Amino acid sequence: MMPTRVIGGRYVVLAELGRGGMGIVWRAEDRVMGRHVAVKELHLPDGLVPDDRLLFRERLLREARTAGRLNDPGIVTVYDVVTDNGVDHIVMELIEARTLADVVAASGPLDETVVADIGRQLLAALQTAHQGGVVHRDVKPANVMLAGGGRVKLTDVGIAQAADDPRLTSTGALIGSPGYMSPERLEGGQASPAADLWALGATLYFAVQGTGPFQRDTTAATISAVLHADPPPTRTRGPLGSVITGLLQRSPQTRLSGPQAAMLLAAPGQANSPTQAGGPEPTRLGAPLTERFGAPVRARPWRWVAIAAAVGLLLGLVGGVAGGLALARSGEPDVRLLSYGTGGQVPVFEIGFQYCISTPVVEGTQIASGAIVDCDESHPAELFAVLDTFAYDEQVGYPEGIADYAARGCAMRFESEAVVGDDKADLVATAMYPTEAEFGRTDESGDRYDYRQVFCVLARADGTNIEGTRLAAGG
């Protein structure tokens, strides 16, 4: 009989639940609380020096604390971090459920109504994580758990973020699964909420098709497909199909945002289009859908589905077209100007999406990616538009008129229905444009990457906080 193992003097190991690239997951009993938990034993790459192991432990503790504060029914709760015999362990809520990967492997692709509900719950979980300053980095079918009653849980929140450091991955380890990593991440860009959303699109594609959109026989071929191939069409053409297509846009600027995707999936009804060829028939899980997700709803006519999809995608395409129209305007727009990036008035600005911001956007501030707040809360600023200048791979010098472009583009967006309210006299718009150093900046691989955008920020003219939001629905 195998002797009883106790992790950290508290968690009695009962059985192995699974294992993967980052370690082993054990079922254990918490002696103190008297409950069963999941304990993830983390395995770091071989050859790490003690300083790097200490770095990982510090980051793990920090990210686990952050993840532990996230409160969403779709996120697996983190209870504790324990070091036992020099090995780090994450203690988590135990979910008695199979993963999406296991369910599809056993039963085939899922019914699109089931997948749409999975998408809604995962979007809500990711919104909570992103607003809490956590980027998942490893959204994939194996990290999505399908529990009883139609509940969906996203696991490993915060763990991949702790491990994603160049000093910890110098041995060649890749944090994330290539088929579910966004193109910008594979090209060396930083992880971002948009990268999580791309991974969600690939995960939903897998759920409805039974295979990943870029799955190939080798890792190298999979990476090449993500970077260069178009995803094959899905069997669904309703709102779910529009969301998958919108999330799998190669450019983060044209990709659907979380609120836009949620708006499409929350629309009344789902399109009942014929199943396309190219995959097995979908499987309906467990109880009838009326028991799992409530009473059925009537499908909308296809033309309204198409309109909703077009609106969602157009809301994401806030780049060159808007900017080009803005340059055709005449007169001086009443917009404040701030430069951002290296040598700029705002040295750091990492909010690349239409979100509410917890920090005033004024000269001298640094706005990191975690400075996102729920728009229902009182907040000092809102990012209401993102405008492209030039594509990141275009070989162009710093444009002389970029500040004027920014002012006019943001003025046009401010005066449009992107900002709601008939009287906008209480508001002020700030156009943020990249400095010359930021415009020409490259990533660690030497490639240019998305440092050329203009950001349009909204605030109250008297400096007080905004209550609610002034952004249009879905924006």
Find the DSSP H helices in 189-293. Answer: 193-209, 219-228, 239-247, 258-266, 289-293
Residues 291 and 173 in one domain: yes
State residue 308's pLDDT score: 35
Residue type, 285: L
Q: Are strands 87-93 and 152-154 parallel, antiparallel or unpaired?
A: unpaired
CATH value at residue 242: 1.10.510.10
Same domain, residue pair 242 and 303: yes
Residue 470 in domain:
no
- Does one domain contain both 302 and 187? yes
175 and 71, same domain (yes or no): no
The amino acid occupying position 364 is G
pLDDT at res. 155? 87
218 and 155 in a common domain? yes
Beta bridge partners of 342: none
Q: Is residue 376 part of a domain?
A: yes
Q: Within a domain: residue 136?
A: yes
The total number of structural domains that make up the chain: 3
Structural domain range at position 114: 98-316
Q: CB 310: neighbour CB atoms within 10 A?
A: 11
166 found inside a domain: yes
Query: 81: domain CATH number?
Result: 3.30.200.20
pLDDT at residue 134 in the model: 84
209 with 121, same domain: the answer is yes
> Which candidate in 88, 117, 138, 164 is catalytic?
138
Residues 104 and 216 in one domain: yes
Q: 114 and 78 share a domain?
A: no
Helix (H, G, I), strand (E, B) or coil at 188: coil
Do 256 and 111 lie in one domain? The reply is yes
Q: What is the pLDDT of residue 392?
A: 63
475 residues of the chain, pLDDT tens digit each: 455 799 999 999 999 988 766 678 999 999 999 999 999 888 776 666 777 777 766 766 676 777 777 778 888 888 888 888 888 888 988 988 899 999 999 999 999 999 999 999 999 999 988 888 888 888 999 999 998 888 999 988 866 554 444 444 444 444 568 899 999 989 888 888 999 999 999 999 999 999 999 999 898 999 999 999 887 888 776 789 889 999 999 888 889 999 989 988 874 443 333 333 344 445 444 443 333 333 332 333 323 233 333 333 333 333 333 333 333 333 444 799 999 988 999 998 877 666 788 889 999 888 887 788 878 888 999 988 888 787 666 778 899 889 999 999 899 888 888 788 767 888 999 999 999 988 887 755 555 555 788 999 999 988 899 988 888 754 4
Q: Residue 466: inside a domain, yes or no?
A: no
Distance CA(352)–CA(361), nearest Å, equals 14
Helices H / strands E in the chain, number of each: 14, 17
149 and 66 in a common domain: no
- The reply to whether 233 falls in a domain is yes
Q: Is residue 337 part of a domain?
A: yes
Q: What is the pLDDT of residue 85?
A: 87
CA–CA separation, 147 vs 261, rounded Å? 23
Are residue 154 and residue 251 in the same domain, yes or no?
Answer: yes
- DSSP helix/strand/coil, 289: helix
What's the pLDDT score for residue 450?
A: 56
On whether residue 288 sits in a domain, the answer given is yes
At which of 93, 109, 129 does a domain end? Answer: 93
Residue that finishes a domain, picked among 37, 69, 93:
93
Q: Are residues 88 and 168 in the same domain?
A: no
Mark whether 138 is an active-site residue.
Answer: yes
DSSP-derived pairing of the beta strands 366-367 and 348-349: parallel
Q: Which residues of 413-441 are buried (b: 16+ CB within 10 A; e: fewer)?
A: bbeeebbeeeeeeebbbbbbbbbbebbbb
Among the candidates 316, 334, 360, a domain finishes at 316
